[in-house]
Amino acid sequence: METDAIPQPAEEEAQQIDSADLVVGILTELGSDAISRMCGSLQALPGPARIAILQHDTRNGPAATSPDAPSIFFVPSLLTNPDGPGAGPLGMAETYKSVFAAGEKLQSRGCCIVASKHESSGAHWASELARPLLEQNVDLVVPRYAQHRFDGLLNSGIIAPLIRSLYGRRLHNPMGPDFGVSRRLFQKLLGTERSGKSGANGFHPLASLAPAALCDNLSVAEVHFGARVYPSPDWTNASSILAEALGPVFVDMERNASCWQRTRVSSSVPAIGQASRVLNDSGAVDINRLVESFQLGNRALQEIWALVLPPYTLLELKKLSRRSVEQFRMPDVLWVRIVYDFALAHRLRTINRDHLLKSMTPLYLGWVASYARDVQADESMTPDQRFERLALAFEAEKPYLVSRWRWPDRFNP
């Protein structure tokens, strides 16, 4: 979003508050208590920081300057409304961009975005995201949430290991949705979009932040947070979530192809804070339903998968679909190759992109079934151990991706 696009009243408001050291965008619903505590924790940041808070729902917070915290200003009008009613972080691309634009307008040193709900208070999250930006000159601060076994599987099963194998840094939540972003990084993103280099669709902040920082060798850190509250799954739109989340990631992958093809091994990023434990992690998943979805997909979507996947993978999937629910287990290598093949088909536009990503849903549910069987069968295995094994498979299969990316026709039947 260009700063020129900010409406007139916002311009006037921004004129009154001519500068800020930090811009904090609150894209989730927080109660007035939580806001007050957040202001308190932000006050404790080092130096005489002027902080602008951008929030839609000002009923919960002070309307203008906080009386308790004179250096904190509320500037709700600089925030763009979410793209649709009830849009989650994925549907808030323009809102994220408006936070960056406000950061640029107010010449802030960085922006923090709090977009998720949390199990505990979570009022300190903004200051924890801001601290590395202001104290250690970190360019991108990403969260590391305490995770239940079946939380954020799309992130843990595809996005995080994919980003790790592509860009060589072990980020656990590369798509946030909570972020701390330095001035250098948000200016780079806004500049890229204005120059038109980000392509016809522009950039999606959630998908582009981590790759942009990693490709430019900017400093990145993770902050340990408590557990996030995830929205309940809706079985009727799991495919839409998949398409919405993976689309921008694959677009970014295409944009940064020259960068990630050079990366060979991965390394960890500095972690700040203490990892917190998740309590009450006893939920069980209905594996039958997941396997049935996979088997139905395998029966009905063969003609589409045949356009995307090589014969060997199709054969393996056929074998897998014949197994009983008790014996169902999708090997990591197979899953990794499927993800890579879909990324390539997305780049080549083998079929309509929306169809492509949505047709991946049964495969994803097959992997979820396999994962659920693994962690339910072996109580001693933590999700982190399981995801580490998967991430290593992503790294080991990267040469497969690179060769298919460079010579896509070589593997065609």
Partner 1 sequence: MWQQIKEALVLSTAKFLTKLASLLPGLAALIVALFLSLIVGWILAAIVRRILIGLRFDERMSQWGFASFAESAPMKSPTRLVSRSIVFIVVLAGFLIGVAAFDSAWTSLFVRSVLAYIPNIIGATLVLFVGRLIARFVARSVLIGAVNLNLQYARLLSEGVRWLVVVLAVAMALEHLRIAPEIVELAFGILFGGIVFCMALAVGLGSKDLVTKSLERDVKKSAGQELEDPLRHL
Task: Report in angstroms how near the CB of residue 130 gets to partner 1 at its nearest.
Answer: 25
29-37, 215-223, 252-260, 350-358 -> range binding partner 1 (CB under 8 A):
350-358
Least distance to partner 1 from the beta carbon of 13, Å? Answer: 34
Secondary structure of residue 173 in the 3-state scheme: coil
Cα–Cα distance measured from residue 229 to residue 242, given in angstroms and rounded to the nearest whole number: 19
- Cβ atoms of 278 and 389 closer than 8 Å: no
Interaction between residue 79 and partner 1 (CB under 8 A)? no
Chosen residue from 12, 68, 286, 388 binding partner 1 by CB under 8 A: 286
- Per-residue binding string, partner 1, 235-274, x by CB under 8 A, is xx-xx-xx--x-----------------------------
- Dump the DSSP string for 355-369: HHHHTTHHHHHHHHH
Backbone angles phi, psi at 226, to 5 degrees: -75, -165
- Residue 113 CB, nearest distance to partner 1 (Å)? 16
> Which backbone phi and psi does 383 adopt, to 5 degrees?
-55, -40
| DSSP 3-state of 223 | strand
The reply to whether 285 sits near partner 1 by the rule CB under 8 A is yes
The one among 10, 301, 390, 393 contacting partner 1 by CB under 8 A: 301
Binding segment (CB under 8 A) for partner 1, from list 73-81, 96-104, 266-274, 353-361: 353-361
Binding mask 97-136 toward partner 1 (x if CB under 8 A, else -) reads ----------------------------------------
Q: For residue 180, what are its two tokens?
A: 């701390």
**Binding to partner 1 by residue 410, rule CB under 8 A?**
no
- Here the tokens at position 379 are 């109580």
Smallest distance, partner 1 to C-beta of residue 278, A = 12
Instruction: Please measure the distance between the N-terminal and C-terminal CA atoms of the chain and give it in whole angstroms.
Output: 44
- CB nearer partner 1, residue 4 or residue 409: 409
Among 62, 152, 180, 226, binds partner 1 (CB under 8 A): 152
Our finding on whether 338 is near partner 1 (CB under 8 A) is: no
| DSSP symbols for 237-301 | GHHHHHHHHHHHHHHHHHHTHHHHTT----EE--EESPPPPPP-------HHHHHHHHHHHHHHS
